[in-house]
Amino acid sequence: MGILDEDVRRVREATDLVELAREHVALRKVGRRWSGLCPFHNEKSPSFTINPEMGAYYCFGCQARGDAISFIREVEHLDFVGAVERLAANAGIQLRYDDANFSKERQRRQRLHEAVAAAIAFYHERLLTGDDGGLARRYLRSRGFDGDAARQFQLGYSPDGWDVVARHLQAQKFSREDLSDANLAFTNRANKMQDVFRGRLMFPIWDARGDAVGFGARTLSGEDGPKYKNTAETPIYRKSSLLYGLNWAKGEIVARGNVVICEGYTDVMAFHLAGVPQAVATCGTALADDHFVLLKNLARNITLAYDADAAGQAAAERCYTWEQRFEVQFQVADLPTGRDPGELWPAERDLISKSVEAVTPFLQFRLDRLLASSDTTTIEARARAANAAVEMIAAHPSDFVRDEYVMRAASALRLENVQRLRDEVDKVRKGGSASLGARRTANPNHAGEEQQRPYDRREIDALRWVVQAPHLVGQHVDLSVFSDPRLREAFELLFTSDSFDDAVARGDDRTVALLQRLAVEDTSVGSDKAEEVAKRVIVNAIEASSLRLLQSMLRASDIRSVEVKQLLDALVRERDLSNWDLAVPLADELVAWLASSETGVEPSDGPSGGTE
């Protein structure tokens, strides 16, 4: 079932394998053959060879071999039909299928691509010539982007009317189902089509093949609502496997052996206009495995063009995992602290291009930032900086790399006992906490006790947010989330007190000391991303507690463990995609199970209660 054999042969014969491979591999001619670094394995000396007359390739290093169809299947991770369709589109060949249902599904996807492409054209023209596009044009000019930039990136403007684009596309013979399935419009309560995007600056998004799939849309008013709104998941739009700008950047990424990953659409524009055409950005989501499935065959060097510290330790651990799994190398662009490429354009365009020339390995960047901001004037201050450095270094999986950075940190902090630092790193990797120069508490009755018994980092993070931002996390956290008896005591004290001051007045010395310490530790509660960080803290803490519950249920052969496992698997999936708005309700359901495990009362359909 699939494409007729005759059409497959026509596509194969019509495709120039050398030109196709050049989209992904830098090639040079050697006699009658073409040679380059293999896109299927990591190598330093070219072993990948193409015979253009036969339309065949072979790698003498990994023994990969095949024709144009197998090549495009491997490098773009397509199935056979998808690969043939991709090449047929390039060659202008109309394919025929031997199964009507199969053909219908493929034609349906193509129709959605066409609908999105028609919307791109409509929005683009509205931005360039429409009277109502003036606000969007003024915004772009305020960011240093002129009409040529708008045309280069095919930017658009979505009118503020209820159904402007819906009526336009229906006039072009697109059906209601087309518009709904492409997430361009929806049926409202009056049974009329209503536009999804209204009054926004539109950034069209294409997939790696160059097919139109969706939009990122920025609000231009100060009204409530998200600043950016992306196309919802559709049959052709999956944000976890899309990178904005990859359709333009793909060839340059291959040629330069490097990809620059930004946070926003205007950052990509600024890089491209500043002479760095290998820049891409995620589409309203965090980096995920699927992104590296796309990138690993294009380039092995990944440059992060945003503040790597902002992602924190969890992001660092994911980067190290990706380095090992996909054989890539992360580095950080040398951007001015606190400023993104879009803010540097156009007044400081030289800094944009220079930032990717002066890159720093990921761990070095984070460690250098830590050491530069640390107080080293006293022994105690250097010990605190050393503890932070130890936690950071311990996350790296390589023994050799860790040891190199241990010596770097010891030198910067003027610590003579390098072996002590190594021992601390080993302790952290085994689940402990760094304790160099453990601070004394003001109360001699429990001096040093908190340092000697490390907390689960996820639980202490959750309690810190309960202390500082109960309005963000309190309704999601229950006593049952905490396994450590000291944290349970502190949470229960907060929960039964009218205020933080009341809790401090009522608690014992040890619990009060813990609460007061948590009250002053940095959570960046006042930042723009406080709500997102709070959701991450909630999900991480409840995931850990739920895993312990599941293990306990499995040991007891509790048949209800199936339900808990399904919820936990869903939570982990949404967390990995950074879909926090979907992960938190799942966490609430798991809290109900956690609470029931302690009370013996079956969980209800709703989430459990917590602090207000």
pLDDT digit string, tens, across residues 362-373: 899 889 888 888
- Which tokens belong to 221? 């008013």
Residues 491/482, Cβ–Cβ less than 8 Å: yes
Q: Any idea which residue has 């770097």 for tokens?
A: 408
Domain co-membership, 63 together with 164: no
pTM (two decimals):
0.62
Residues 382 and 306 in one domain: no
Do 220 and 270 lie in one domain? The reply is no
Q: Is residue 322 part of a domain?
A: yes
Same domain, 267 and 332: yes
142 C-beta neighbours (distance < 10 Å), count: 8
If one compares 574 and 105, the residue with the highest pLDDT of the two is 574
Give the dihedral of Cα atoms 167, 172, 177, 182; nearest 10 deg.
-90
**Distance from first CA to last CA of the chain, Å, rounded?**
58
Q: Which residue has the higher pLDDT, 103 or 176?
A: 176
Encode 191-230 in three state secondary structure.
Answer: CCEEECCCCEEEEEEECCCCCEEEEEEEECCCCCCCCEEE
Domain match, 139 and 169 both = yes
Q: Any idea what DSSP says for residue 475? A: G
Per the structure, the complete domain to which residue 215 belongs is given by 106-237
Cα separation values, 288 from 20, 170, 259, 322, Å:
27, 36, 15, 9
Q: How many domains does the chain have?
A: 5
Q: Are residues 415 and 356 in the same domain?
A: no
Q: How many CB atoms lie within 10 A of CB 537?
A: 23
Is 608 a member of any domain? no
Q: Is the pLDDT of residue 76 over 80?
A: no
The reported pLDDT for the residue numbered 1 is 53
Residue 271 in this model has a pLDDT that exceeds 90? yes
Alpha carbons 71 and 574: distance in angstroms, whole number: 32
Residues 83, 146 share a domain: no
Give me the pLDDT at residue 458, please: 86
E strand or H helix at 580, and its extent?
Answer: helix 580-599
Is the model's pLDDT at 300 over the cut of 90? no
Task: Supply the CATH number for residue 42's domain.
Answer: 3.90.580.10
| Mean pLDDT, all residues of the chain | 85
Is 450 within the bounds of a domain?
Answer: no
Q: How far is the C-alpha of 351 from the C-alpha of 271, rounded, in Å?
A: 10
Q: How confident is the model at residue 450 (pLDDT cuts 50, 70, 90)?
A: very low
Give the C-alpha distances (Å, rounded to integers) separating 576 from 85, 224, 546: 31, 28, 17
How far is 128 from 116, CA to CA, in rounded Å?
A: 18
- The pLDDT assigned to 158 comes to 97
Contact in structure between 299 and 256 (CB atoms under 8 Å): yes
Same domain, 356 and 381: no
Residues 127-155 have pLDDT tens digits of 999 999 999 999 999 999 999 999 999 99
Based on the domain organization, do 229 and 123 belong to the same domain? yes
d(CA 402, CA 424): 12
pLDDT for position 141: 95
Across residues 401-427, what is the average pLDDT? 91
Q: Do 257 and 152 reside in the same domain of the chain?
A: no
